[in-house]
Amino acid sequence: MTTEETIIHLVARQSDRSVADIHRENTLIEDIGLDSLDIMELAMEVEDEFAIDIYDDDDAEKVKTVDDLIKYVESHVKEARAK
């Protein structure tokens, strides 16, 4: 499974939506309806799935959409592998 597919599955599971309903351009809060607790739980799932440390508060402000999350994870996975 690609990073994109994995993220979409994680978001779908966290939001109790179908994978088909999750698109890169969807905002996590407004479009998908995640609240702050959902976002925190999603972050923990992403950390576990990709073996990375998820964003701090500054990074959290930048991650608004599914696409932002995919790009964030892809860049941090690359950084983790480079270490």
pTM: 0.90
Please give the tally of structural domains in the chain.
1
CB atoms within 10 A of CB 44: 11
How far is residue 42's CA from residue 81's CA, in Å, rounded to a whole number? 22
Q: Which of 4, 2, 22, 23 is nearest to 13 (CA)?
A: 22
> Residue 46's pLDDT is what?
93
Q: Tens digit of pLDDT for each residue in 4-58? A: 999 999 999 999 999 999 999 999 999 999 999 999 899 999 999 999 887 666 7
> Residue 53's pLDDT is what?
84
Of 35, 48, 53, 59, catalytic: 35
Residue 35 annotated among the catalytic residues of the structure: yes
Confidence of residue 61 (pLDDT cuts 50, 70, 90): confident
27 DSSP β-pair partners:
65
Higher pLDDT, 31 or 81: 31
> Residue 80's pLDDT is what?
67
8 A C-beta contact, residue 24 and residue 3: no
Domain with residue 49: its CATH number is 1.10.1200.10
* Residues 6+ away with beta carbon under 8 Å from 39: 28, 29, 60
Domain with 55, as residue range(s), is 3-82
